[in-house]
Amino acid sequence: DAGVIQSPRHEVTEMGQEVTLRCKPISGHDYLFWYRQTMMRGLELLIYFNNNVPIDDSGMPEDRFSAKMPNASFSTLKIQPSEPRDSAVYFCASSLSGTGHYEQYFGPGTRLTVT
Amino acid sequence: GNSVTQMEGPVTLSEEAFLTINCTYTATGYPSLFWYVQYPGEGLQLLLKATKADDKGSNKGFEATYRKETTSFHLEKGSVQVSDSAVYFCALSQMNRDDKIIFGKGTRLHILP
């Protein structure tokens, strides 16, 4: 089975540009999570969805960040405008609530560098 | 609220040494407990889990026992290898309370040949 798929794997952009990160969760999973990982702050939960509906976006750092899940197989995380402090690795993860234990499956991540 | 505390790293060991990474948690009720591993340049992978008290999760030679009386879930391995070098995250989730997993800050492990 394919795992969580993220694209691009690496993104380098200039400050002020719009960045869109993409995620395809594992088929059949009903939860989708976006995380950010940096050396300074560790792993941070940004937002998560259940059945395509945003449940908790309290981790989204600023209005420059937005996330959508138009269908069960696709989600985007957008940063507009991007800033150097947004440089990080962004992970998408999915899980299936029916297991009752919410174990999450992570994608390989997108390494974002904003210059 | 729920929280996870794990020992700070980095932890540096020689190959074939015994490994313990401590993890304690705070939660009401009966959470499920996890250890995730992150190898360099990769996402987190589930290493093992335990869903009720006294359960022992195991995988790839790693073990952890769910200890409700001490609210702990320490990760152990009898003989580490260089390939075990990674960051290890302790985590918990609670069914019917929250949809999220609460992660610890991670412990970086270096194994020297």
Cross-chain residue pair B51–A56, CB shorter than 8 Å? no
Work out the end-to-end distance of chain B between its first and last CA atoms, rounded to an integer number of angstroms: 41
Q: Give the mean model confidence (pLDDT) for residues B79-102.
A: 86
> Half-sphere exposure of residue A87, counting CA atoms within 13 Å on the CB side?
11
pLDDT tens digit sequence for A77-93: 999 999 999 999 999 99
- In terms of residues, how long is chain A? 115
CB B21 within 8 A of CB B91: no
Does A18 contact B at CB distance below 8 Å?
Answer: no
Identify which of B51, B99, B105 has the shortest CB distance to residue A50: B99
pLDDT tens digit sequence for B28-79: 888 899 999 999 989 999 999 999 999 999 999 999 999 999 999 999 999 9
Q: List, for chain A, all residue ranges whose pLDDT scores fall below the cut of 50.
A: none
pLDDT of residue B9: 86
Average of per-residue pLDDT values in chain B: 92
Cross-chain residue pair B100–A103, CB shorter than 8 Å? no
Interface test with B, best of A101, A105, A111 (most B CBs within 10 A): A101
CB B101 within 8 A of CB A102: yes
Inter-chain Cβ pairs, chain A and chain B, closer than 8 A: 52
pLDDT of residue B98: 62
Cβ contacts of B8 on chain A, cutoff 8 Å = none
